Amino acid sequence: MLMPARQEVAAAAPSSWLELPHGGWLQAQLSQALAPHCAKVFGYYLARVGHLAHELELNELRVRHQFSATRSGAGDIHTDFEYWPFAEGVLDAVVMVGQLEFERDPHQVLREMSRSLIADGHLILAGLNPLCPARWVGFWPPHLQQLPWRGRYFSRARVCDWLNLLNFEIVASGYTAPSLLLARTPSPSFGLSHLSQVLPAVGSWYYLVAKKREYPLTPVRLKRPSKTPLNAVPAVQRINDGGRY
């Protein structure tokens, strides 16, 4: 049974990739996975939500004005993501990385992102995969209050359902960065790179590229049945019909 997504108190989100085990490697892996999809995103305004999105290198984005939004610390705008400060339909794209898991009401956050996007705008979302082998490491009691385990993690399928309810079309998705997320391991992937070629779900991160769809309502005019007057029927037809007219 799925637990409710909303919680009373949210955990503190990571303020840098360096706070995560093998953070630099995770950042490079996610940037590489998103590169071909970012090349298809263009426009005038793009918002990077959270510190991880602020630091993520996405050189393929063809958006003229990019800015970051965080709750505090480094960032161009400090704001509460549940009460997005942007008007309706003003952003061409939103990038959110590792932030939804640390929000008090993730449904409300996604609604705000959707509201601020233009029609056919892009939402690029990435989060930690709760079904990967690294999640078992987080169940160890000493790790429960450490990053990245102190957040609430949602599966890719569950987030897809939320986006579908908001009229988003998932145009691309996948997993990346297979790792146990243990800082003391000599290799970040720790032998999972070969397994990920057969089972992609062992990746510690999932990503979604969604496009906001708006379907306009087209009024349909009802056709009224035409009443043919008696004098409009030819006389020959009236005679052939037996004179019932």
- Provide the pLDDT for residue 5: 80
**Rounded-to-integer distance, Cα 100 and Cα 159, Å:** 10
**Which helix (H) or strand (E) element contains residue 33?**
helix 23-38
Q: Is the omega angle on the peptide bond into residue 148 within 30 degrees of 0, that is, cis? A: yes
Give the pLDDT of residue 225.
66
Residue 156's SS3 state is helix
The 10s digit of each residue's pLDDT in 98-137 is 999 999 999 999 999 999 999 999 999 999 998 888 777 6
Residues 213 and 22: their CA atoms lie apart, in Å, by: 37
Question: Do the Cβ atoms of 124 and 95 come closer than 8 Å?
Answer: yes
* Structure confidence at residue 184 (pLDDT): 77
Residue ranges in the chain whose pLDDT is less than 50: 238, 245
pLDDT of residue 6: 81
What pLDDT was estimated at residue 215?
Answer: 74
In what side-by-side order are the strands of the sheet with 203-212? 77-78, 62-70, 42-49, 91-97, 117-128, 203-212, 168-178
- pTM for the full predicted model: 0.83
Which pLDDT does position 238 carry in this prediction? 47
What is the structure's pLDDT at 46?
97
pLDDT score at 27: 96
Q: Which domains does the chain have, with CATH numbers?
A: 17-215 (3.40.50.150)
